[in-house]
């Protein structure tokens, strides 16, 4: 076996990491195992995970119920193709998703990652209009500061500056970008916030298949909490202008924002919804695209007669079984109370950060909090500072943020917020 130094050297030389250079000049920390809210490093250090492995492991690592579901499913089959075959894990999970999401969403398309669930949603919207004899509706309306994934269609709807669209300009479809919402979650709604979205619909709806955005919380695009009325008005306007509404709940879904789905704040139902991230509790990659009967029933009469998509690992039984166990776990306790307690503590613990010179803004909603700085953080210096304090956080841009597992205890959360304060104070 290679020594730890060799492992890190091989990794640096050969293994690409997310949004990283090659060879990788930034530190990477080898992990031995993970348990509950803790990541155990190979060098013996133990870190409290303040971002739930990119917002996924809401019930912590190595959860006995998820492990048991995985083991039971492995005994039967870990995978079988989905073309022409079906199985209980996929059907049971689809039923659970239909029960949890708004009532009109009745049909589930499983895929392997959030980005692909967005591709599926966008393709579904375009093909829907084709089915309905309106093949010119092939573009999308979205809002600035959004994030929808790294594949090409998903990327075309991401913020054009954050996503460096100019690098891929010949390849990316040009979408319509409304101004990002400015009225914050708890502020007084102002109708002018929706003006730019409304204007684009009025001018371009003949070409627009769907609007796509993250409801209430723009996560990777800047951890911005905006007014639910924006979502409600956008939904209304889309209906008026014959444009579908795709809500990307990949980050917000399954309780993260304080509601089971963030669209509940606006009391609306999209035509298409994407879920992923926390779906399997961080156990493995699974995502889904849900839609209504009105949309799905157009496919059998359209030119293709079917929806033109079908991933090899679609409906993977192992991922479905674990995800079902994760959703049952979520339903087995008062998750909303827990998320609200996390929100209250985040607000209280982080309030003193507001007085720090480096800090521009402090905000929290549900189990999400962000400290916005005046200047971008240097990850190479900041990451080791957090590790020294026994916490795992992954700042980006001007943001120090936390999205802890729901099972975190108050003292553990305090370790995270104290580390954020001390790092922000050192900047």
Ligand X SMILES: *Cc1c(COP(=O)(O)O)cnc(C)c1O
Among 36, 89, 114, 405, binds ligand X (CB under 6 A): 114
Residues in binding contact with ligand X, number by CB under 6 A: 15
Are 140 and 160 within 8 A, CB to CB? no
CB atoms within 10 A of CB 162: 16
Q: Is 277 a catalytic residue?
A: yes
Residue 248 sits in the site that holds ligand X (CB under 6 A): yes
Residue 147 sits in the site that holds ligand X (CB under 6 A): yes
Bridging pattern class, strands 208-213 and 244-248: parallel
Q: How far is the CB of 292 from ligand X (least distance, A)?
A: 20
CB atoms within 10 A of CB 12: 17
Q: Is 248 a catalytic residue?
A: yes
CB atoms within 10 A of CB 87: 18
Q: How far is the CB of 270 from ligand X (least distance, A)?
A: 13
Euclidean distance between CA atoms 304 and 291, whole angstroms: 19
Residue 115 sits in the site that holds ligand X (CB under 6 A): yes
Euclidean distance between CA atoms 326 and 58, whole angstroms: 9
Sign of CA dihedral 288, 293, 297, 299: negative
Residue 144 sits in the site that holds ligand X (CB under 6 A): no
Tokens linked to 196: 């730019």
Residue 159 sits in the site that holds ligand X (CB under 6 A): no
Q: How far is the CB of 149 from ligand X (least distance, A)?
A: 4
Collapsed DSSP state (helix, strand, coil) of residue 108:
strand
Among 47, 58, 70, 118, binds ligand X (CB under 6 A): 118
Catalytic residue from among 49, 193, 248, 349? 248
Q: Is 147 a catalytic residue?
A: yes
Euclidean distance between CA atoms 127 and 214, whole angstroms: 22
Among 52, 73, 111, 113, binds ligand X (CB under 6 A): 113
Q: Give the residue with the Cβ less far from ligand X, 53 or 298.
A: 53
Question: How wide is the angle at C-alpha 305 spanned by C-alphas 122 and 107, nearest 5°?
Answer: 55
Are 341 and 369 within 8 A, CB to CB? no
Q: Give the residue with the Cβ less far from ligand X, 54 or 189.
A: 54
Collapsed DSSP state (helix, strand, coil) of residue 40:
strand
Residue 148 sits in the site that holds ligand X (CB under 6 A): yes
Residue 270 sits in the site that holds ligand X (CB under 6 A): no
Q: Is 19 a catalytic residue?
A: yes
Residue 50 sits in the site that holds ligand X (CB under 6 A): no
Among 36, 89, 102, 149, binds ligand X (CB under 6 A): 149
Are 133 and 148 within 8 A, CB to CB? no
Q: How far is the CB of 113 from ligand X (least distance, A)?
A: 4
Element (H, E) at 142: strand 139-143
CB atoms within 10 A of CB 111: 26
| Listed ranges 147-155, 177-185, 199-207, 378-386: which one lies at the site for ligand X (CB under 6 A) | 147-155
Residue 119 sits in the site that holds ligand X (CB under 6 A): no
Euclidean distance between CA atoms 38 and 43, whole angstroms: 14
Binding mask 194-233 for ligand X (x = CB under 6 A): --------------------x----xx-------------
Catalytic residues: 19, 147, 248, 277
Q: For binding to ligand X (CB under 6 A), which residues are involved?
A: 113-115, 118, 147-149, 214, 219-220, 248, 250-251, 276-277
């Amino acid at each position: 076996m290679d020594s730890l130094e060799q492992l890190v050297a091989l990794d640096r030389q050969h293994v690409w990491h997310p949004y990283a250079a090659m060879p990788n000049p930034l530190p990477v920390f080898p992990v031995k195992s993970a348990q509950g809210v803790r990541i155990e490093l190979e060098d013996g250090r133990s870190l409290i995970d303040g971002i739930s492995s990119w917002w996924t492991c809401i019930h912590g690592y190595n959860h006995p119920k998820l492990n048991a579901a995985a083991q039971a499913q492995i005994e039967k089959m870990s995978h079988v193709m989905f073309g022409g075959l079906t199985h209980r894990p996929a059907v049971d999970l689809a039923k659970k998703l239909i029960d949890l999401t708004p009532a009109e969403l009745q049909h589930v398309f499983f895929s392997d990652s959030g980005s692909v669930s967005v591709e599926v949603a966008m393709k579904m919207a375009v093909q829907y209009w084709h089915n309905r004899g309106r093949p010119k509706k092939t573009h999308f309306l979205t809002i600035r500061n959004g994030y929808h994934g790294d594949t090409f269609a998903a990327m075309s709807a991401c913020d054009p500056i954050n996503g460096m669209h100019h690098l891929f300009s010949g390849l990316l479809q040009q979408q319509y970008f409304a101004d990002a919402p400015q009225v914050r979650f708890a502020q007084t709604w102002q109708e002018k916030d929706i003006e730019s979205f409304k204007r684009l619909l009025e001018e371009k709806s003949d070409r627009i298949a769907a609007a796509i955005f993250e409801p209430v919380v723009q996560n990777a695009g800047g951890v911005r909490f905006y007014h639910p009325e924006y979502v409600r008005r956008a939904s209304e306007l889309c209906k008026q202008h014959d444009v579908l509404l795709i809500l990307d709940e990949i980050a917000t879904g399954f309780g993260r924002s304080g509601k089971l789905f963030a669209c509940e704040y606006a009391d609306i139902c999209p035509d298409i919804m994407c879920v992923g991230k926390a779906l399997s509790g961080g156990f493995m990659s699974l995502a889904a695209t849900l839609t209504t009967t009105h949309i799905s029933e157009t496919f059998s009469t359209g030119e293709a007669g079917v929806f033109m998509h079908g991933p090899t690992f679609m409906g993977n039984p192992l991922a479905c079984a674990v995800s079902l166990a994760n959703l049952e776990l979520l339903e087995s306790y008062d998750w909303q109370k827990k998320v609200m307690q996390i929100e209250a503590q985040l607000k209280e613990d982080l309030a003193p950060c507001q007085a720090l010179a480096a800090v521009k803004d402090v905000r929290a909603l549900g189990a999400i909090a962000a400290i916005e700085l005046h200047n971008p953080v240097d990850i190479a210096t900041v990451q080791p500072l957090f590790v020294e304090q026994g916490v795992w956080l992954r700042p980006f841009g001007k943001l120090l943020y936390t999205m802890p597992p729901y099972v975190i205890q108050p003292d553990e959360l305090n370790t995270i917020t104290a580390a954020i304060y001390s790092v922000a104070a050192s900047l």
